[in-house]
Amino acid sequence: MARQKCKRFTSFRPPCCQFHPNNIKPAKESITLLSEEVEALYLMDLLELYQEEAALKMEVSRPTFARIIKSARHKVALAILGGHTLHLENSKERYVVALCSESETSPYIGLSPKSKYIHFFTLDNHQISEQHFIENPLFRDANAKPPLLLSELFVNHRVNIFITGTIGQGFKSTLSAKGIPVLLKEIITEEEIKALW
């Protein structure tokens, strides 16, 4: 009897889930990357973590992670080299939203990367399951650069989307390179946050 598969922790949510060959008719069979394979590619190839670090983040053993990343890379190579449509499985039940605001209690207005507080909203099935805030390290150090401080902080908090009214191109590019899309909004409601993904 086969052993039951353990649940892998995944946090990355791809903004696009379907890729097609451009200049040819795609092969009949499409290839699907499981959400755990997408997460493995994100951790190892985008964030450039070592296998041991990536395995810890996914809450699996290193040999299990090695099998997941090998399968993911094989599927991507097969899709690209064989002209297949590539579908990325996207589990949208849980995601983390970050925003920076001047207020501890009313975090939905005046959104800017250099505001005093960073608010994190964890959503499960479009309901806020956890909400907390920390003091923004940029607020204490006026010379600090958002791309350096906040991008790593967001990766460590497993942020899936950052909402802000303003953002510099360098910071936006850094977040994009880490797989964190930016939503430009100066004001947002709790209901809009719940409906994001």
Domain boundaries, the chain: 18-88, 94-194
**Residue ranges in the chain assigned as alpha helix (H):** 35-41, 51-58, 62-82, 137-140, 146-156, 169-177, 190-194
The model's pTM is 0.71
User: Model confidence over 107-166: pLDDT tens digits?
Assistant: 888 899 989 999 999 988 888 999 999 999 988 887 888 888 898 899 888 888 999 999
Asked: is 94-194 a CATH 3.30.420.130 domain? The reply is yes
For the chain, what is the radius of gyration of the CA atoms? 19
Answer left, alpha or beta for residue 158, where phi above 0 means left and psi between -120 and 50 means alpha: left
CATH fold group of domain 18-88: Arc Repressor Mutant, subunit A (1.10.10)
